[in-house]
Amino acid sequence: MKRSPLFSIFLIVLIDILGFTIILPLLPFYAEQLGATPLVVGWLLSSYGICQFVAGPVLGQISDRIGRKPVLLLSQGGTLIGFLILAFSTSLLPVFISRVIDGLTAGNISVAQAYISDVTEPEKRAKSFGLIGIAFGFGFLVGPALAGLLAHFGHQYPIFAAAGLSAASIVATSVLLPSSKKAAQLAAQSVSSGTTVPKTRHLDWKSSLALLKEPELGSLLWQFFAFICAFGIFFSGFALFAERRYTHHAIAFGTKEVGYVFAYVGLLGMIIQGGLIGRLVKKFGESRLVQAGFVFMAVGFVYLSGTFDLPNLLAAVSVMFFGMSVLRPSLTSLITQKAGRHRQGIALGMTQSFMSISQILMPFISGALIHHRLLTWWAWTGVLASGCGWLLWHFRPDLSPAPASRA
């Protein structure tokens, strides 16, 4: 009964991520072609994060009130408009406008995660969230490679492909995705069972920030922030880092080479989150996988800081992305269990806001460091973020299941 909606949300997220991953290796080089320096590229990427930071919790709370599907359609519509503006940009100003529009409506992944939580039991969520990991993995396998292939014909072609995929995701959501339970229905169930559910308002920042003060849930959210900072430093800066650090046949890395590295990362994600995460959770538990994930990430960044050739680069990202691939679904599952179903939209909206803060800070940091050719320090920023995450795990409170998770 629950497999059909999970397949539908997997397909929809996959199409979204394919569009995103086509743009990912292209955008820094596209902006450089229009005259941007690494600092300006950093600001360009940060503008998306600023808008997403404002919109993330709002979209999450609205999805709690009216359902996931309408908000998902809104997010996908904004992405499509942003891609179309980007495709026709001839200067940096419309490029910035496209990222602002996309950022203000960015909620695809967090709303999809809330939908998965609506239709799965707590003990199955890590494996179910692994579906998003599979979608990311397949997206990173196919999207960047497609960007590299289409970029031979001009930078507009990959962007039009991304826009086409975004339009396809809107159609798929409209046709394939059943509506999940609304927060109002869940609240009524909780009242009938004697459980008090706090009411939320669309702009109730106080309720959102209050989650950070809860000992267990707050610790998990801060761990997610550390993770997403490490994740963000890599993806916001790797293209420009690679352009200055590596060569292939005596030519500096470009869209094609960066795309192939991202495709390799995607293959790793598919293998780990597709076939291994369920077994790893059963054997080690989610909390231990979070700990191990931070350790592998830190080691991978240390290794990356000293690489100058392709074999060592691939070895470094292998270590790093093993950690990321086991950490993200495990940590997301723990967050939803602690939040309970009636607050999942808010909690996952907070993770979206943390992603936005990372997408504000990390591109700026990456751009500044790479602009001044401090490439080793760029990699060590990832080490620092991963180390902070491990310390937060080490001094965590007890993570025994909360009663609200069984609501």
- Sign, CA torsion 303/309/315/316: positive
In a domain, 261, yes or no: yes
Pairing of strands 247-248, 251-252: antiparallel
pLDDT at residue 400, as a whole number: 53
Q: What pLDDT does residue 114 have?
A: 78
The per-residue pLDDT for range 345-389, each reduced to its tens digit, is 778 778 877 877 888 899 999 999 999 999 999 999 999 999 999
Determine the length of the chain: 407
Phi/psi class of residue 210: alpha, beta or left (left: φ > 0; alpha: ψ in -120 to 50)? alpha
What is the spatial distance between Cα 76 and Cα 94, in angstroms, rounded to a whole number? 19
Residues 77-103: tens digit of each pLDDT? 999 999 999 999 999 999 999 999 988
104: confidence class by pLDDT, cuts 50, 70, 90: confident
Q: What is the pLDDT of residue 406?
A: 41
What pLDDT is stored for residue 332 in this prediction?
Answer: 86
**C-beta atoms surrounding 182 within 10 Å:** 16
Residues 6+ apart with CB under 8 A from 348: 60, 110, 111, 113, 114, 117, 332, 335, 336, 339
183 in any annotated domain: no
pLDDT for 182 equals 47
Q: How far apart, in whole angstroms, are the C-alpha atoms of residue 232 and residue 361?
A: 9
pLDDT tens-digit readout, 246-288:
998 888 998 889 988 998 988 888 888 777 888 888 888 888 9
How many angstroms separate the CA atoms of 75 and 68, rounded? 11
- Is residue 191 included in any domain, yes or no? no
Phi, psi (degrees; rounded to nearest 5) at 256: -65, -50
Q: Which amino acid belongs to residue 33?
A: Q
Q: Give the residue numbers spanning the domain of 313.
A: 3-176+202-399
Domain count, the chain: 1
The partner residues of 39 in beta bridges, in order of sequence, read none
CATH number of the CATH domain containing 213:
1.20.1250.20
Which of 370, 123, 330, 331 lies closest to 223, judged by CA? 331
Lowest mean pLDDT of 1-5, 196-200, 289-293, 304-308, name the range: 196-200
pLDDT tens-digit map of 167-190: 988 998 888 887 765 444 544 454
145: left (phi over 0), alpha (psi -120 to 50) or beta: alpha
Whole-number Å distance between alpha carbons of 119 and 177: 12
> What tokens does 359 get?
């997408």
**2-16, 81-95, 293-307, range with the lowest pLDDT:** 2-16
Q: In the chain, helix, strand, coil percent, each to 5?
A: 85, 0, 15
Q: What is the pTM of this model?
A: 0.78
Residue 342 has pLDDT above 50, yes or no: yes
| CB contact at 8 A, 298 and 350 | no
More reliable by pLDDT, 140 or 383: 383
Q: What is the pLDDT of residues 192-210, one digit of tens each?
A: 444 444 443 344 556 667 7
Is 189 inside any structural domain?
no
**Residue 90 CB neighbour total at 10 angstroms:** 8
Residue 394 lies in a domain: yes
How high is the mean pLDDT of the chain? 83
DSSP string, 26-95: THHHHHHHTT--HHHHHHHHHHHHHHHHHHHHHHHHHHHHH-HHHHHHHHHHHHHHHHHHHHT-SSHHHH
Token representation of residue 147 = 């960007």
Both tokens of 374, joined, read: 């401090």
Q: Is 33 exposed, middle or buried (0-12, 13-18, 19+ CB in 10 A)?
A: exposed
Quote the pLDDT of residue 195: 44
347 falls within a domain = yes
Confidence at residue 398, expressed as pLDDT on a 0 to 100 scale: 63
Q: Is residue 341 part of a domain?
A: yes
In a domain, 184, yes or no: no
pLDDT at 178: 79
